[in-house]
Amino acid sequence: MNTKVISLVSIGAHPTSGRARRAEQDARAVELGLQLAGDNLQVLHAGDSQEPALRAYLGMGLEQLHVLEQPAGADALGVLGDYLRDAGAELVLTGSQAETGEGSGMLPFLLAEQLGWPLVVGLAEVESISNGVAQVLQALPRGQRRRLKVRLPLLATVDNAAPKPRQSAFGPARRGVLAARQVEIVEDELFTGAELQPAKPRPKRLKVIKAKSGADRMKAATAKASGGGGQVLKDVSPQAGAEAILKLLIEEGVVR
């Protein structure tokens, strides 16, 4: 396949020790990329090229990893967007949410907006790519999959539905090259200006189990999420459709 695939990676943190590591979801983005493009996969990170945890990605068998050199607190969005456009990327894969830093999960959305590309969240598998159109499977809750056809270039996030990342090996990790490149540094004012504090655990909603038997519980756990009401609009003009959606959002209190 000669589609240009780029995986974006960040520095992760181990959930119990907090030590730097390869981020779980980003590693899956690399795995998926390797399965699609093999040695042609390009992996990109914006940040510190001296960070040893980056070598864990190289250990997956990469010859090099491109780093857009940035200090902590810089905004990665602009430089990533420029790089991807210049590099002629057609399929960009990334984790859904970083394990360190802001971890807002907004980067893929902002990046897609900036590039004007479609975004697929929860990519589980790329089935085929032909004539500039990718046929992919998107992961939905409860193990469901949705088949989508999306035109390239395309940005996709992966989560735990994507294939498990391969083991990182010491030899390739040591041999691989961290290719740093100087870029313009834009301060992320939203991040550096904000005050960070540890998250409070959210109160849990009480779960009332109505099911009487094990079979009922099984059914409840595996049932498709189904809205009761709802309305299917067919053959309406875009204008009318948009109005109907807006009306619903106002009714539900999503848009005020």
Judged by the rule CB under 8 A, the positions of this chain that interact with other proteins are 14, 16-17, 19, 21, 59-61, 166-172, 174-175
Q: Which is nearer to other proteins, 7 or 168 (CB)?
A: 168
CB of 138 vs other proteins, minimal distance in Å: 27
d(CA 113, CA 81): 10
d(CA 25, CA 30): 9
Q: How far is the CB of 110 from other proteins (least distance, A)?
A: 30
User: Which residue, 61 or 153, has its beta carbon nearer to other proteins?
Assistant: 61
> How many other C-beta atoms can be found within 10 angstroms of the C-beta atom of residue 81?
18
Nearer to other proteins, 177 or 245 (CB): 177
- Provide, rounded to whole angstroms, the least separation between the CB of residue 12 and other proteins: 9
H/E/C letters for each residue in 113-155? HHHCCCEECCEEEEEEEECCEEEEEEECHHHCEEEEEEECCEE
Nearer to other proteins, 100 or 135 (CB): 100
**Which of 140, 228, 166 is CA-nearest to residue 32?**
166
Q: Taken in order 16, 92, 69, 109, is the CA torsion positive or negative?
A: negative
The nearer residue to other proteins, 116 or 171, going by C-beta atoms, is: 171
Q: What are the C-alpha distances in Å from 228 to residues 210, 217, 224, 225?
A: 18, 20, 12, 10
Nearest to other proteins of 19, 234 (CB atom): 19
Q: What contacts 14, CB < 8 A, 6 or more positions away?
A: 21
Task: List the beta bridge partners of residue 12.
Answer: 21
C-alpha span between 93 and 40 (Å, rounded): 14
CA angle 89, 158, 26 (to 5 degrees): 80
* Least spacing, CB of residue 70 vs other proteins, in Å: 24
Of 13 and 185, which CB lies nearer to other proteins in the complex structure? 13
The distance of closest approach from Cβ of residue 69 to other proteins in the complex, given in angstroms and rounded to an integer, is 24
Q: How far is the CB of 177 from other proteins (least distance, A)?
A: 13
Q: In angstroms, give the least distance from the CB of 31 to other proteins.
A: 12
